[in-house]
Chains A and B, each alone.
Chain A
Amino acid sequence: MSVRACLITALLLSQAGFVALAQQVGTGGPPPVLPLSVFPPESVQTDEAVFQRACAACHGPMGMATLQLMRRLPPSEAILANRRDLDGPTVKAVVRSGLVGMPPLTRGEVSDEQLDRITRYLTGKRGKR
């Protein structure tokens, strides 16, 4: 994926901080309507909501992890929730140990029970198209 394509993809996904700056200086003109990262309140306890609150700051559109994954994956697959190839042991190992620039998530921040639900959410689409 070209750098230009990455920037345009970024434009379609978010705005904030240095990214917003990169988008604006990188393309000229005003950006289009961009989604805000709004997660469900704690009262919503679906697996997806648990994932969003715990992971989507980095793994949502234009999060740090998404940007990192965009270096080797198409943008749609760089969004973790869109992946179809994740398996449970891998998800749990990465969450608890970290990977590349990703820090581990402690059990104080994400309990084992919450990690089970996150894993169920991320692996639920495995193999589906």
Chain B
Amino acid sequence: MQLSLPSGLSPRTLDAFLSQCRAIVGDSFVFTGDDDRDAYSDIYAAAGDQRHIPSFAVAPSEVEEVQAIVKAAVATGVPIWPFSRGKNLGMGGTAPQLSGSALLDLSRMKRIHQVDADLGYALIEPGVGFYDLFSHLQNTKTPLWMSCPDQAWGSVLGNALDRGVGRTPYGEHSQSICGLEVVLPDGSLVRTGMGAMTKSKTWGLFKPGYGPSWDQMFVQSNLGVTTKMAIWLMPEPEATTTLTIKAMRDDDLDWLVPRLISLSRDRVIEQFYFLANCFCLAPIFSSRDKWYDKPGAFPPDVTKRMIAALDIGWWNGELVLYGTDAINRAREATIMERLSGRATVSVSLRRWQRGEPLELSSMSVPTTSGFQVVNWYGGRGGHRVSSPVLPSRASEVIGHVRTAQKLVEEAGREFASAVYISGRYTTALNIVAYDRDEPDGAKKVQDLMTSLIATAAADGFGEYRVHLDDMDKVAASYDFNDNALLRLNQRVKDALDPAGILAPGKSGIWPKRYRNGSAA
């Protein structure tokens, strides 16, 4: 793959930085080959799209090595792009925003430093994946439950720092962060919250610390390299109940959404829950060509035939209750009452009590099955997601879903939609799957994503998390007072990272040297 360097960076300078990286971590953990650059690029990008190609990767295992690499980057001016495990594949994966950046691969930092079973937290490094932490908790018979995203191949720390979500009471993962260890862009080391005290016994317990709280400053930001994180875990509940919703008609959405929102408003349900349409579930067990061989989005009769054959709903949902058996049963009764009375909507439930096999519970477990959506069209699959945040008002949620559906179907694709509902806000996931080798795919996919983002923004709905290619336009859409928020972010960026070496362009935040498209 063609290597291109950022403007103002010479091959000689890159070589000097490369040599320093080798001296810091050893030759075995610096990866410079063409095959390495291919593997570390945005692997779900459409064929021919080479906008995010790294120069090389360096993989430290110790925080001191991270500090030394950052200092070397400052000294040489080489931009570095850190990632934890790089498995947010629809967002760019391991790839840098700025081609030619060196990758800081933290996947070898895999230590689980501490798990406190009584107080419910873990202290972990960036390379610890959801499967790693889950296996650790199970192997040590620790009665703490995780909150996993739908696609859980990635890093616990990285997912929290990117505002990933799950479906448990701890499902807003960035809100479960309780103190970080961070290498700042000058190579110095800081701990936030109670971790700032050397002998602290409350690092994983009290989020604010003393004085200003900085945890969230390092979320979706390029202001530091996080090397440790304390994160809250949920004590195993006494009982769980899972209620599974199956709605056979597309317009059942109009009936379901207001009722589900009312359950959140009344705190019958206290965490995220979701509705997913049939095009989120069908790819798990089938590909598009099994149902339809013509271009364009499925006609309704094809969709009906598909959901009948798969025995799934047009819309499908899951509500999970965690608590005591008595509390869960009271909540169940309210839910069943409010979701009864429509012939095309059914609700089934499954109960578990502590002591029964965990496999029967509704604990959040890691899975990679969500990736199957990329294989819907066959060939070498990929996907992108538009994720606007909506008010939890039925008219606005339903209105957005229909608007996004129209845009996706007019682009000739099936509309894979999931909405994650809470009492105040709802996150819509508009999933665009594609075959990476389809003709003119890069332009078609980008045009559709641009349209989805712009339409949502015009309606007052900002995206919460996007692919590299959309970061600038989403940052620009937060446009109050001539993009005052972006200008504040830039001022903080320039103050902490005057050399402009750390993750240029992350979340649309470019250091001064790269603003206006040229190196300073």
Q: Per-position contact with B for A57-86: 1 when CB-CB < 8 Å, else 0?
A: 110001111011011000000000000000
Does A31 contact B350, Cβ atoms closer than 8 Å? yes
A25/B371 contact (C-beta < 8 A), A6-B285, A108-B105 known: no
Determine if B375 and A16 form an interchain contact, defined as CB atoms under 8 angstroms apart. Answer: no
- Pick the contact of B31 from A20, A31, A108 — CB < 8 Å? A108
**How close is A24's CB to chain B, nearest CB, in angstroms?**
4
Supposing A18-B369, A21-B276, A35-B359 touch, asked if A106 and B134 sit within 8 A by C-beta, the answer is no
Report B-chain residues with C-beta under 8 Å of the C-beta of A14: 367
B244 and A25 form a contact (CB under 8 A): yes
Are B135's CB and A18's CB within 8 A? no
Residues of B within 8 A of A53 (CB): 131-132
Per a CB cutoff under 8 Å, which of A27, A64, A97 touches B311? A27
The interface residues of chain B lying within 8 Å CB-to-CB of A42 are: 110
**Cβ of B365 and Cβ of A109 under 8 Å apart?**
no
Provide the B22-59 mask, 1 if CB < 8 A to any CB of A, else 0: 00000011010001101110011000000000000101
Chain B 71-101 against A: per-residue CB contact (8 Å), 1 yes, 0 no? 0000000000000011001000110000000
Name the residue in A17, A34, A38, A103 with the highest tally of chain B Cβ atoms < 10 Å from its Cβ: A17
Interface size class of A (residues with CB under 8 A): 35 or more
Residues of A within 8 A of B311 (CB): 3-4, 7, 25-27
In the complex, chain A residues whose CB is within 8 Å of the CB of B110: 42
Residues of B within 8 A of A108 (CB): 29, 31, 40, 57, 59, 105, 107-108
Contacts of A97 in B (CB 8 A): 35, 38-39
- CB <8 Å contact, A37 and B131: yes
Q: Is A15 among interface residues, defined by CB-CB distance under 8 A?
A: yes
CA distance A7 to B369 in the complex (A): 13
- Are B367 and A62 closer than 8 Å at their CB atoms? yes
**Which residue of chain B has the shortest Cβ distance to A70 in the bound complex?**
B285
Q: At the interface, is chain A mostly helix, strand, loop or mixed?
A: loop
Q: In this assembly, does A91 line the interface, its C-beta being within 8 Å of a C-beta of chain B?
A: no
Contact in complex: A17, B150 (CB < 8 Å): yes
Q: Which of B280, B318, B369 is in CB contact (< 8 Å) with A64?
A: B369
Assembly CA distance A86 to B42 (angstroms): 28
Find the B residue at minimum CB distance from A2: B309
Contact, CB under 8 Å: B285 / A18: no
Closest Cβ neighbor of B285 among chain A residues? A6
CB atoms of A24 and B36 under 8 A apart: no
Q: Contact at B135–A64, with CB atoms within 8 Å? A: no
Tell me the bound Cα distance from A101 to B286 in angstroms: 14
- Residues from 300 to 357 in B contacting A, C-beta threshold 8 Å: 309-313, 316-318, 348, 350, 357
- Give the chain B neighbours of A29 by CB distance below 8 A: 348
Residues of B within 8 A of A63 (CB): 367-369
Q: A19-B369, A36-B365, A39-B135 are in contact. Are A68 and B108 (CB under 8 A)?
A: no
Interface residues of B in 234-268 (CB under 8 A from A): 242, 244, 246
Interchain nearest-CB distance for A125 vs B (Å): 24
Q: Does A127 contact B (CB under 8 A)?
A: no
Q: With A24-B350, A104-B43 in contact, is A57–B368 under 8 Å at CB? A: yes
**Nearest neighbor of A59 in chain B, beta-carbon distance:** B368
Interchain CA distance A106-B31 in the complex, whole Å? 9
Contact B153 A58 (CB under 8 A): yes
A26 touches B369 (CB 8 A): no
In the complex the two chains form, is B369's CB within 8 Å of A16's CB? yes
CA distance A31 to B57 in the complex (A): 44
Interface presence of B231 (CB below 8 A): no
Which of A21, A27, A33, A58 contacts B371 (CB under 8 A)? A58
> What residues on A are CB-neighbors of B360 within 8 Å?
30-31, 33-34
Interface pair A64/B368, CB less than 8 Å apart: yes
CA distance A64 to B152 in the complex (A): 11
Q: Given A3-B285, A24-B244, A106-B57, is A33 in contact with B359 using a C-beta cutoff of 8 Å?
A: yes
Residues in chain A near residue B374, CB distance under 8 A:
101
A41, B136: Cβ atoms closer than 8 Å = yes
Closest to A42 in B: B110
Mark out the residues of chain B between 123 and 182 whose CB falls within 8 Å of any chain A CB in the assembled complex. Answer: 129, 131-132, 134-136, 138-139, 148, 150-153
> In whole angstroms, what is the CA distance A120 to B350 when docked?
42
Q: How far is the CB of B123 from chain A (nearest CB, A)?
A: 17
A58 to B375, CA, bound (A): 14
Bound form: Cα–Cα A20–B242 in Å: 11
Do A33 and B357 have beta carbons less than 8 Å apart?
yes
Report chain B residues within 8 Å CB of A37. Answer: 131, 134-135, 365-367
Q: Does A28 contact B (CB under 8 A)?
A: yes
User: How far in angstroms is the closest Cβ of chain A from B389?
Assistant: 21
B286 contacts across to A, CB distance below 8 A: 3, 71
Using known A-B contacts A103-B89, A108-B57, determine if residue A57 contacts B131 with beta carbons closer than 8 Å. yes
B371 & A36 in contact (Cβ 8 Å cutoff):
no
Q: In the bound complex, do residue A22 and residue B312 qualify as a contact, i.e. CB atoms below 8 Å apart?
A: yes
Q: Please determine whether A105 and B39 come into contact, CB atoms closer than 8 angstroms.
A: yes
Give the residues in chain B near A33, CB-CB below 8 Å: 357, 359-360
Q: What A residues does B89 contact at CB under 8 A?
A: 103
Can you show 6 pairs from A to B with CB atoms below 8 A apart?
Answer: A21-B281, A22-B281, A24-B244, A28-B348, A38-B135, A98-B39
The 10 closest A-B pairs by CB, nearest first: A16-B367, A108-B59, A64-B371, A108-B105, A104-B39, A19-B369, A64-B368, A101-B381, A24-B244, A25-B246
Q: A4-B311, A17-B148 are in contact. List 9 more A-B contacts (CB 8 A).
A: A21-B244, A30-B350, A37-B134, A57-B152, A64-B371, A101-B381, A104-B43, A106-B105, A108-B107
